[in-house]
Structure 1
Amino acid sequence: MKRLLICRHAKSSWKDPDLPDFDRPLNKRGQRDAPEMGRRLAAHGFRPDLICSSPALRAMSTAQLYAGQLGYPLDRIRYNPHQYAATVPVLLQLLQEIEENVQTLMLVGHNPEITALANLLGGLTMDNIPTAGIVALEFGLEHWRGLHPGAGSLLFFDYPKIQG
């Protein structure tokens, strides 16, 4: 069995309009939500064997905050430049190339591709994974290379509930 945590980065800042998209940091809400979602994953008993993240600042920061809550070593996070502005076929290929000893994988990236990937792999019809949202899928597969559309079963979908 393989488990995949598909994670959208936490809320980013638009404070500096001249800052390139790649370099946008998390805003205060994102800095609050990411650790909370990491705590929720820990409460569910999820311990990723590997965290793969887009190298964009907001995704890296989210991955690091999740890792901190999950006791995952920060120096083991894999930053893949192909995850930034990736198409769904590219993301699927990246997943199919994951080492076989990885049972639980966390993928931290961007919309709309993250939502499209969750829909494709889980046979879902989600409109949008909100910032810091997580879709957990389970696959009855021995090898990541066997990943294909509709192969996943939804374990849970969670995202921060903002209190008014």
Structure 2
Amino acid sequence: MSTLYLLRHAKAGWALPGVRDFDRPLDEIGQRDSEEMGQLMALNGYIPDLTLCSGALRARQTLAGIAAKTDTGKVIFSDTLYMTDAAGYLDLIREQVNASSLLVIGHNPMMEDLALAISGDGDEQAAAALNFGFSTAALAIISFKGRLADAALGKGRLEAYITPGD
């Protein structure tokens, strides 16, 4: 059994003139929400062995907020998570052959597309909430019977979908 935690970065401010999208920081709400999600993860026992985090500033700041409240395991930063699609996310997940629980901190629409594509079944309330869109700082918890290296479309089970304030 393995677990995949998909976390969309927290709310970021708009890019200021001369600031690249990659370098947009979290706003005050995003900073608060990332710490709140870290606390929710700790309370629910959602502790990854490994974290893959986009190199974008808002993703790194989301990780920092979470890490202030819970263990995130070993961390690997990947700019690929900023540039690729949901299939690219799945490829990166499959490469983590030694992780039985993996947290991916990335971007939409990739997070939403991936969560919907790999979840074959699961909690009906979680699926209904996710169908309304993958909110900033939201976390989808998806389990697999086998290894994450064998994760495939429709093979996961959506266990929960939580947002700040849950």
TM over 0.5: yes
Q: Quick check: 1:131 aligned with 2:136?
A: yes
Matched, 1:86 2:84: yes
Inter-CA distance 15–83: structure 2 relative to 1 (3 Å threshold): closer
Q: Which of 153, 157, 160 is the aligned partner of 2:157?
A: 153
Paired letter, 2:104: L
Identity %: 33
Say whether residues 1:106 and 2:82 are aligned partners.
no
Structure 1 residue 22 and structure 2 residue 22: aligned?
yes
- When normalised by structure 2's length, the TM-score is 0.89
* Structure 1 match to 2:37: 37
Point out 4+ residue stretches in structure 1 off by more than 4 angstroms. Answer: none
Look up the SS of the partner of 1:77 in the other structure: strand
The TM-score, its normalising length taken from structure 1, stands at 0.90
* Number of positions where the alignment pairs a residue of Structure 1 with one of Structure 2: 158
Q: Give the secondary structure class of the aligned counterpart of 2:131.
A: coil
- How far residue 161 of structure 1 moved from its aligned partner, in angstroms, is 3.9
For the residues of structure 2 that align with 1:144 and 1:5, how far apart are their CA atoms? 11
- Secondary structure of the corresponding residue to residue 6 of structure 2: strand
2:83 counterpart SS class = coil
User: 2-side partners of 1:72 and 1:27: how far apart?
Assistant: 22
Amino acid at match of 1:144: L
Q: Corresponding residue for 1:95?
A: 93
Q: RMSD of the TM alignment (CA)?
A: 1.7
Match of 2:4, SS? strand
